[in-house]
Amino acid sequence: MALEITDSSFQDTVLKSDKPVLVDFWAVWCGPCRTLGPIIEEVASDFEGKALVGKVDVDNNQEISMQYGIRNIPTVLIFKNGEVVDKLVGVAPKEVIAEKLSAHL
């Protein structure tokens, strides 16, 4: 299951992780985000133990959303060693997301 990531947990969970981290920036009111949600959950279970997968609710965590310039949701960022190494904006098929995350394992 995808981790709930907040402004206060972002540093420890994402930036200090020794594994790649996929972060889905989303909101409850966002239709495409609801479409992407189950895909993110599948990716989280497929990559368990190999990578972290988390979600940031942009309405409740505006600090981190602003820091990374999130203007459109859903936006998926992949972090490795505390740096953004890949980005997807909008809904993408599971295969595309899994392929991008696999490239950073």
pLDDT in tens, 45-70: 999 999 999 999 999 999 999 999 99
pLDDT of residue 26: 98
How large a percentage of the chain has pLDDT more than 90? 100
33 is catalytic: yes
Q: How far is CA 17 from CA 53, 58, 64, 82, in A?
A: 11, 21, 16, 7
SS3 string, 19-41, reads: CCEEEEEECCCCHHHHHHHHHHH
Bridge partners of 10, per DSSP, are none
The CATH number given to whatever domain includes residue 74 is 3.40.30.10
Q: Which of 3, 30, 91, 98 is catalytic?
A: 30
In this structure, is the dihedral angle defined by the CA atoms of residues 93, 58, 80 and 53, taken in order, positive or negative? negative
Give the residue numbers spanning the domain of 84: 3-103
Q: Which of 33, 53, 70, 101 is catalytic?
A: 33
Q: Which two tokens stand for residue 15?
A: 């930036």
Q: What is the pLDDT of residues 70-80, one digit of tens each?
A: 999 999 999 99
Q: How many domains does the chain have?
A: 1
For residues 24 and 54, the answer to whether their CB atoms sit within 8 Å is yes
pLDDT of residue 7: 97
48 is catalytic: no
CA angle at 87 for the pair 96 and 71, rounded to the nearest 5°: 125
